[in-house]
Amino acid sequence: MAAILLITSLIFAYYITNGIHRNIDNELNQQAQQILKDYGTEEEFNQLKIETIDALVKSHIQLTYTEQPIGIRSVREKNHYYKILTARFPFSDKHLQIKRDISEEQNFLYGLYTMMVILGVVGMAVVFYLASRLSAQLLHPIQILSDKVSNINESILKPINIDDLSEEFKHLGESVNQLIQKINSTINFKKELFVGLAHELKTPLAVMRLKNQITNMKHKEEDYIKEALQQNLDSIDTLNNMIQNVLEFGRSEGMQFEQPKRIDIIRFMIKKAEEYELLANSKNRNFIYHFDIERFMITIQPLLFMQIFQNFIQNALRFTPEKGLVTLSVRTDQKHFIVEITDEGPGINEKENYFAPFKRSAKSEGAGLGLFLAQNAAESMGVKLSLTNRTDGQSGAVASIMFPFSRFLHKEL
């Protein structure tokens, strides 16, 4: 828009300037032709000059010897501007010169240029102002829609409210809601597929296991048959464990859509810790919990948190030897509220990624999906997980659940 305004101003200035100068040139040419036509001798010209000097106040007419080229040229003398026409005078070595003061017209043009520059600057300022206002009005609903989309919880996909959008952008909002609905349908389908597949696989395995058990009971004396049947039973148990992990993965997909709840996570863990203390005693392990922070209010999805928390506790109890100690504690650093589970097991190989699917240690009997499911739940919640070796000189690992303050911090701490 500003470029169009500038180009229009330049074209207008050129047209006005060219028009004024062309009119002056035409007047000088007409005046010269009239003089040459009516007064063909020097004596007649001198008579003309005397008789018409008062009438030609804007022009100075003379016969003179000059080497200037034939035609019209513009000159500036001091603060005045002139147009000088030079033409051959018939039957003479002299030339006819008509000199006209065009200062008035030139000053008018300069004033016009100045006015156009001022109007151009003001016009461009107005254009930029209106353009910025218009762009702000156009971007406002886009910004609203962008904020709504960015605030969508990836674990709880709800349609956005489009009532406060302008009519022009409601169709876009409806399209976003349709996309969210399709994503929800896809996730639900995948969840149902996992759960259904797991149930379908567990049924024939259960039948196979039962038949192997019955056969094993009938052939107790044949060691080779008993050994083969026992291997079959072990394989079926392994498959059952893997299917159970797949089932848990499908359920975890559903947990991601759990409504967040505001809870005191310290009190929540104390209740669960009492249960894990009983579990540890049944396995001849020791379990203690110690919280320096008495209260920490947080909005989370409890089932997702429990999937992580329970997995870390069970792994710690599994790898800690008898009479060993598993400790549950909390602490904070500058950016996180941290839950730590410390065991007295053999530790880990920190070069390995234990959160990858089907990744397990040499002593693990599981399918290697527990930590993978925990990581999946952590990503849905927005927390960070870490698994490192102890740094206090003792053998064991430390599993950490880190809640970023930027996402979870609340005034009530």
- In tens, the pLDDT along 88-133 reads 887 777 888 888 888 888 888 888 888 888 887 888 888 888 888 8
**What pLDDT score does 360 carry?**
62
Same domain for 246 and 349: no
**What pLDDT score does 363 carry?**
58
Q: CA–CA distance from 39 to each of 30, 31, 46, 88, 91 (Å)?
A: 14, 12, 9, 13, 12
Same domain for 324 and 304: yes
Same domain for 194 and 250: yes
**What pLDDT score does 89 carry?**
80
Tokens 């559903």 sit on residue: 254
Say which residue, 246 or 253, is predicted with more confidence.
Answer: 246
DSSP collapsed to 3 states, 116-150: HHHHHHHHHHHHHHHHHHHHHHHHHHHHHHHHHHH
Same domain for 276 and 376: yes
**What pLDDT score does 54 carry?**
42
Q: Is residue 118 part of a domain?
A: no
- Indicate the pTM of the whole model: 0.47
Contacts 24+ apart (CB under 8 A), 321-327: 321/345, 322/283, 322/284, 322/285, 323/284, 323/285, 323/286, 324/285, 324/286, 325/285, 325/286, 325/287, 325/288, 326/280, 326/285, 326/286, 326/287, 326/288, 327/287, 327/288, 327/289, 327/290
Contacts of 160 (CB under 8 A, 6+ apart): 145, 148, 149, 152, 173, 176, 177, 180
Which residue type occupies 291?
F
Q: Is residue 165 part of a domain?
A: yes
Same domain for 270 and 231: no
Supply the angle between the helices 302-319 and 265-282 in degrees, to the nearest 10: 30
pLDDT > 90? residue 397: yes
Same domain for 168 and 68: no
Same domain for 295 and 399: yes
Query: 242, 257, 272 — which closes off a domain?
Result: 257
CATH number of the domain bearing residue 87: 3.30.450
Say which residue, 151 or 260, is predicted with more confidence.
Answer: 260
**Token code pair at residue 194:** 């996992």
CATH number of the domain bearing residue 335: 3.30.565.10
Our measurement of the distance from residue 363's CA atom to the centroid of its chain's CA atoms, rounded to an integer in Å, reads 45
Work out how many domains the chain is built from and give that number: 3
Round to whole Å and give the CA distance between 233 and 235: 5
Whether residue 162 contacts residue 173, with contact meaning beta carbons closer than 8 Å, is answered with yes
- In tens, the pLDDT along 180-233 reads 777 776 676 566 656 666 666 677 677 777 777 777 676 665 666 666 666 777
Q: Is residue 116 part of a domain?
A: no
pLDDT > 60? residue 55: no
CATH number of the domain bearing residue 176: 1.10.287
**What pLDDT score does 52 carry?**
56
Backbone angles phi, psi at 136, to 5 degrees: -65, -40
Average pLDDT over the chain, rounded to an integer: 78
Q: Is residue 356 part of a domain?
A: yes
**What pLDDT score does 242 carry?**
66
**Poorest-pLDDT segment among 45-54, 69-78, 215-224:** 45-54
**What pLDDT score does 403 carry?**
92
Q: Is residue 252 part of a domain?
A: yes
Same domain for 104 and 177: no
Query: 49, 79, 110 — which closes off a domain?
Result: 110
Round to whole Å and give the CA distance between 363 and 356: 17
Same domain for 211 and 287: no
Same domain for 159 and 211: yes
Range of the structural domain that residue 345 is part of: 261-408
Same domain for 336 and 201: no
DSSP class of 344: -
**Token code pair at residue 173:** 């909002």
3-state secondary structure of 335: coil
What percentage of the chain carries pLDDT values higher than 70? 77
Q: Is residue 66 part of a domain?
A: yes
Same domain for 267 and 231: no
Q: Is residue 26 part of a domain?
A: yes
3-state secondary structure of 37: helix
- In tens, the pLDDT along 132-159 reads 888 877 777 777 777 777 776 655 677 8
Q: CA–CA distance from 377 to each of 302, 305, 322, 348 (Å)?
A: 11, 7, 30, 22
Query: 241, 257, 273 — which closes off a domain?
Result: 257
pLDDT > 50? residue 57: no
Strand order in the sheet with 80-88: 59-64, 95-101, 80-88, 71-77
Q: Is residue 121 part of a domain?
A: no
Round to whole Å and give the CA distance between 3 and 9: 10
Residues 121, 123, 124: CA angle, nearest 5 degrees:
65
pLDDT > 90? residue 352: no
Whether residue 401 contacts residue 338, with contact meaning beta carbons closer than 8 Å, is answered with yes
